[in-house]
Amino acid sequence: MVREFTNIRQASIAAVEHMIDLAGKTVMKRDLCTIVLAGGSTPQLTYELLGAPANAEQMPWQQSHFFWGDERWLDSTHPDSNFALARKTFLAKVHIPPQNVHPIPTGLTDPQAGAERYEKHLRDFFHANSLVGMHSGGEVMAVPSFDLVLLGMGTDGHIASLFPGSNLLEEKRRWVAAVPEGAGSPPCARITLTLPVLNQAKNILFLISGSRKREILDTILRRPEKAEKLYPAARIKPAGNLIWLVAE
Ligand code: 6PG
């Protein structure tokens, strides 16, 4: 589904409404909701709105757990940190138990160690929750199923820290991977969830703005085979629902 908006504010309001609605329904069913946050600049207004009292009071913070789709290999206080963005815009303003916030570790010896640590953390967390089996080459492989994954998209069609031409686009086993510095902006090393995990989500919500990203979406919708060769975003085919919120 594609929903179009005249500006990023309207799209961000819709994003917050989706998050609140989904979290409420999910917690009613399972007393738990797992949400993966996007990084970059587009979701900033969404997060600020989520932290606004009128919205925050509707979120089941006690039962909601927040994770990240990717993180830059920077200190968690660095202005370009995806965790820092979420903390500044809403996490520091709401009554969420600290144990419900699951940042990607960036203080270890190197990104590979960070990726391995996060994967272990996810495995421990999902051990008691909804592991979803996924057949990979005939072998059932356990993959977590997040209730909601928020994604942005770069102007090259990247998602999380999965960039065009990356070998990680073919990753089938690891849930979390390290990305060497160079790609993306800022061009720092990164840690990212992989496609098997992203595509196991029950709901994926894209939030994009601008004509270039709209062109990429049009290619994804109209010429999916071509798009898959060019844009990682075209590889997002979730087990669950996929909604694009598109601002002009
Ligand atoms: C990151 C993000 C990344 C982002 C896109 C779009 O860490 O950079 O997770 O995937 O969503 O780069 O970024 P903008 O929203 O800033 O255009």
- CA gap 229, 236 in Å, rounded: 13
- CA gap 36, 133 in Å, rounded: 19
One-letter amino acid for residue 187 of the chain: P
Residue 139 confidence class, pLDDT cut points 50, 70, 90: low
pLDDT of residue 132: 58
Picking from 198, 243, 239, 202, the residue whose alpha carbon sits closest to that of residue 17 is 243
pLDDT of residue 19: 98
Angle of helix 44-51 versus helix 8-30 axis, rounded to 10: 60
One-letter amino acid for residue 215 of the chain: E
- CA gap 31, 87 in Å, rounded: 24
Atom of ligand 1 nearest to the CA of 185: 8
pLDDT of residue 131: 56
Query: What 3 state SS string does the chain have?
Result: CEEEECCHHHHHHHHHHHHHHHHHHHHHHHCCEEEEECCCCCCHHHHHHHHCHHHHCCCCHHHEEEEECEEECCCCCCCCCHHHHHHHHCHHHCCCCHHHECCCCCCCCCHHHHHHHHHHHHHHHHHCCCEEEEEECCEEEEEECCCEEEECCCCCCCECCECCCCHHHHCCCCCEEEECECECCCCCCEEEECHHHHCCCCEEEEEEECHHHHHHHHHHHHCHHHHHHHCHHHHCCCCCEEEEEEEC
One-letter amino acid for residue 136 of the chain: S
Residue 127 confidence class, pLDDT cut points 50, 70, 90: confident
Domains of the chain (ranges; CATH) run: 2-247 (3.40.50.1360)
Nearest-CA residue for atom 15 of ligand 1: 42
Indicate whether residue 154 lines ligand 1 (CB < 6 A): yes
Indicate whether residue 157 lines ligand 1 (CB < 6 A): no
**pLDDT tens for each residue of 226-246:** 999 999 999 999 989 999 999
Residue 46 confidence class, pLDDT cut points 50, 70, 90: very high
pLDDT of residue 159: 98
**pLDDT tens for each residue of 158-185:** 999 999 999 999 999 999 999 999 888 8
138 pLDDT higher than 80: no
For residues 82-103, average pLDDT:
98
**pLDDT tens for each residue of 26-39:** 999 999 999 999 99
- CA 11 to ligand 1 center in whole angstroms: 16
pLDDT of residue 136: 61
- CA gap 217, 211 in Å, rounded: 10
pLDDT of residue 142: 83
pLDDT of residue 16: 98
- CA gap 67, 127 in Å, rounded: 16
What's this model's pTM, rounded to 2 decimal places?
0.96
Indicate whether residue 145 lines ligand 1 (CB < 6 A): no
Indicate whether residue 160 lines ligand 1 (CB < 6 A): yes
- CA 155 to ligand 1 center in whole angstroms: 9
Q: Which range, of 84-93, 122-131, 144-153, averages the lowest pLDDT?
A: 122-131
- CA 124 to ligand 1 center in whole angstroms: 27
- CA gap 67, 198 in Å, rounded: 12
140 pLDDT higher than 70: no
Q: Taking every pair of C-alpha atoms in the chain, what is the biggest distance, in angstroms?
A: 49
**pLDDT tens for each residue of 178-231:** 999 988 889 999 999 999 999 999 999 999 999 999 999 999 999 999 999 999
- CA 195 to ligand 1 center in whole angstroms: 16
Mean of all residue pLDDT scores within the chain: 95
pLDDT of residue 168: 98
* The pair of three-digit structure tokens given for residue 225, joined into one six-digit string: 């085979």
pLDDT of residue 189: 97
